[in-house]
């Protein structure tokens, strides 16, 4: 892995140069919060953002997406794959870990052409977190405070410049074509190491136990009284899963024209927290109670996905805790289960 130095004053010219050939997506201010969006002016890019309302997952799996078009008269079905060459800038490492999990979800068993094509066309420039992004994040507990994979380029703020880890050939080409950089000196490497080791104590562990214990803990907590308690507080609004970087469930629906001949098949994000999510043909709803649905979410994040992909489904970004108007905290939930175990 090669280390380069990008002067901060060279960032805006780099973004502008990239915009000629790519859609550049990065964190921008949205009211008092932040959101990943298309950059039309480098001044919009806010690498000092804390976190975003929705995770950058939406770049790889958009909220709404066309899958195919059909014509009933001509018995014709045409796949639609909407992918644009994109540079995604400023991804925090928690979201990088989430991407690695999504990659597995969309490439195993039933490879998803739509996701995979967008993934292929997306260049990822990630960002090392040097301070906790906000009061809700617990990335250090979940082992996502850093990452040595999942990106093409990785930036670390050194004050007046960024240290740039070049991880892939794509990353190397991006730098050579679009950016003015220099090779890191020994002094730069020393400074980088200092910055990196200084950051860890700022992130306090939030989980009272080792996250590796989660699958076993949850395995024994299926009948835990916590679920009933959460069921009473939960509004079943689906915000927790909609802001989650590792949730990938979707619903599929058709839009037809007025002649009822031609149309398009769409998919959109879905949520296991919604009343009707688990209703199946015949009318049976096998997760009717809000308590059962909250339990399902905790199990997905701390147990089921681990069993499926070998990675925990929670990256500790804290978005679900912030988004919950009923103040349900997955962190407090995990800790409560540990405490009573």
Partner 1 sequence: MTSNGKPKVAFFDFACCEGCQLTVVDSLQTHLDLLEAVEIVQFREAISDRGEDYQIAFIEGSCTRQADEERLRKIRAQASVVVALGACAHTACVNALKNLHPLEDVRRWVYGDQAEWYDTYEARPISAVIEVDAIIPGCPIDREEFIRVVKALLLGKKPPLPDYPVCVECKLKENVCMFHIGKFCMGPVTRAGCGAICPTYGDGCEGCRGFIPAPNENAMKDVLADAGLTVEAIMARFTMFNTYLVSARKADGEERR
Which residues of this chain interact with partner 1, rule CB under 8 A?
30-33, 35, 53-54, 58, 63-64, 228, 231-239, 242-243, 253, 256-260, 268-269, 271, 274-276, 289-291, 323, 325-327
Nearer to partner 1, 44 or 104 (CB): 44
Q: How far is the CB of 325 from partner 1 (least distance, A)?
A: 5
Residues 60, 210: Cα–Cα separation, whole Å: 31
Nearer to partner 1, 156 or 291 (CB): 291
Nearer to partner 1, 141 or 239 (CB): 239
Residues 219, 90: Cα–Cα separation, whole Å: 36
Nearer to partner 1, 89 or 243 (CB): 243
Q: How far is the CB of 291 from partner 1 (least distance, A)?
A: 6
Tell me which long-range contacts 215-222 makes (C-beta under 8 A, separation of at least 24). Answer: 215/302, 215/303, 215/306, 215/307, 215/312, 217/302, 217/334, 217/337, 217/338, 217/341, 218/298, 218/299, 218/302, 218/303, 218/337, 219/303, 220/341, 221/337, 221/341, 222/295
Residues 84, 96: Cα–Cα separation, whole Å: 20
Nearer to partner 1, 40 or 204 (CB): 40
Q: How far is the CB of 278 from partner 1 (least distance, A)?
A: 12
Q: How far is the CB of 193 from partner 1 (least distance, A)?
A: 37
Nearer to partner 1, 137 or 271 (CB): 271
Nearer to partner 1, 91 or 181 (CB): 91
């Amino acid at each position: 892995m090669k280390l380069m130095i990008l002067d901060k004053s060279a960032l805006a010219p780099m973004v502008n140069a990239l915009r000629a050939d790519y859609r550049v997506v990065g964190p921008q201010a949205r009211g008092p919060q932040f959101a990943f969006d298309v950059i039309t002016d480098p001044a919009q890019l806010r690498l000092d953002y804390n976190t975003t309302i929705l995770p950058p997952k939406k770049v790889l799996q958009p909220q709404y997406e066309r899958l195919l078009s059909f014509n009933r008269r001509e018995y014709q079905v045409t796949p639609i794959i909407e992918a644009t060459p994109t540079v995604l800038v400023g991804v925090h490492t928690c979201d990088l870990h989430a991407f690695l999990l999504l990659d597995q979800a969309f490439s195993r068993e039933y490879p998803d052409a739509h996701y995979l094509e967008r993934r292929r066309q997306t260049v990822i420039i990630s960002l090392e977190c040097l301070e906790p992004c906000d009061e809700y994040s617990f990335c250090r507990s979940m082992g996502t405070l850093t990452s040595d994979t999942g990106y093409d380029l990785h930036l670390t703020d050194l004050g007046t410049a960024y240290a740039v880890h070049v991880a892939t050939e794509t990353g190397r080409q991006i730098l050579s074509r679009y950016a003015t950089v220099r090779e890191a000196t020994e002094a730069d490497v020393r400074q980088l190491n200092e910055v990196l080791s200084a950051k860890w104590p700022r992130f306090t562990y939030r989980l009272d136990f080792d996250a590796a214990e989660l699958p076993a803990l949850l395995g024994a907590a299926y009948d835990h009284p916590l679920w009933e308690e959460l069921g009473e507080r939960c509004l079943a609004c689906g915000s927790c899963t909609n802001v989650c970087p590792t949730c990938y469930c979707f619903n599929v629906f058709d839009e037809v024209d007025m002649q009822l001949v031609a149309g398009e098949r769409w998919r959109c994000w879905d949520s296991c927290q919604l009343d009707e999510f688990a209703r199946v043909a015949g009318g049976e709803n096998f997760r009717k109670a809000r308590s059962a649905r909250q339990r399902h979410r905790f199990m997905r994040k701390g147990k089921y996905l681990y069993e499926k992909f070998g990675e925990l489904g929670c990256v500790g970004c804290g978005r679900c805790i912030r988004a919950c108007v009923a103040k349900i905290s997955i962190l407090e939930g995990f800790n409560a289960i540990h405490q009573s175990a």
